[in-house]
Amino acid sequence: MRDDDRPSLEERLTALHTKLVDAVADLVHSDKWAQMLTVAARLPTYSPSNVLLIATQRPDATRVAGIRTWNDLGRHVIKGEHGIAILAPCLYRTEDGAHIRNDDGPPPPADTDDGSLSRRELRGFRVVHVFDVAQTDGAPLLDVQPQLLDGDAPDLLWDRLVGLVERDGYRIERRVCPAGVNGWTSPADKTVVVDEHLGPAQSIKTLAHELGHIRANHADRFPDYGIDPRCRGAAEVEAESIAYIVTSHLGMDPAPYSIPYVASWADNLDTLRRSMSTVVTVAQGLIAARPAHADTAALGRRTTLSSAALSVGTEAPSLSPPMPTR
pLDDT one-digit tens code per residue, 190-220? 999 999 999 999 999 999 999 999 999 999 9
Smallest CA-to-CA distance from 128 within 58, 68, 78 is with: 68
Q: How far apart are CA 250 and CA 304, in angstroms?
A: 14
The pLDDT, as a whole number, for residue 180 is: 81
222 inside domain? yes
- pLDDT tens by residue, 291-316: 655 443 333 333 333 333 322 222 12
Residue 209 lies in a domain: yes
Q: pLDDT at position 89, please? A: 78
* 54 has a pLDDT exceeding 90: no
171-175 sheet: strands from edge to edge = 171-175, 191-195, 183-186, 323-325
The reply to whether 112 and 243 lie within a common domain is no
Shared domain for 130 and 164, answered yes or no, is: no
Provide the pLDDT for residue 45.
Answer: 62
Q: Give the mean pLDDT of the chain.
A: 76
Instruction: For CA atoms 212, 216, 222, 223, give the dihedral sign.
Output: positive
Within-domain flag for 205: yes
Q: Do 167 and 129 reside in the same domain of the chain?
A: no
The DSSP string of 27-71 is HHTSHHHHHHHHHHTTS----HHHHHHHHHH-TT---EE-HHHHH
Residues 64 and 178 occupy one common structural domain: no
The answer on 134 and 167 residing in a single domain is: no
Is 291 found in the same domain as 228?
yes
288/107: higher pLDDT: 288
Is 268 found in the same domain as 216? yes
Domain count, the chain: 2
Per the DSSP assignment, residues forming a β-bridge with 173 are 193
Helix axes 200-215, 229-249, angle to 10 degrees: 120
Res. 77: pLDDT tops 80: yes
Position 87 in a domain? yes
Same domain membership, residue 114 and residue 176: no
Residue 235's domain comprises 157-325
Q: Residue 94: its pLDDT value, please?
A: 58
Over 80: is that where the pLDDT of 175 sits? Answer: yes
Alpha helices in 189-267 (DSSP H): 200-215, 218-221, 229-249, 255-265
pLDDT tens digits, one per residue of 231-273: 888 999 999 999 999 999 989 999 999 988 888 888 777 778 8
**Between the ranges 32-41, 96-105, 160-169, 175-184, where is the mean pLDDT highest?**
160-169
Q: Does residue 161 sit in the same domain as residue 131?
A: no
Residue 318 has pLDDT above 50, yes or no: no
Domain end residue (candidates: 82, 107, 138): 138
Note whether 206 and 325 are within 8 A (CB).
yes
Q: How far is residue 33's CA from residue 37's CA, in Å, rounded to a whole number?
A: 6
Instruction: Report the DSSP beta bridge partners of residue 320.
Output: none
Whether residues 59 and 183 share a domain: the answer is: no
The predicted pLDDT at position 64 comes to: 87
Same domain, yes or no: 163 and 132 = no
Q: Are residues 294 and 180 in the same domain?
A: yes
Does position 97 have pLDDT exceeding 60, yes or no? no
77's enclosing H/E stretch is strand 75-77
pLDDT tier at 153, thresholds 50, 70, 90: confident
Please tell me the predicted confidence (pLDDT) of residue 263: 83
Residue 156 is classified by DSSP as T
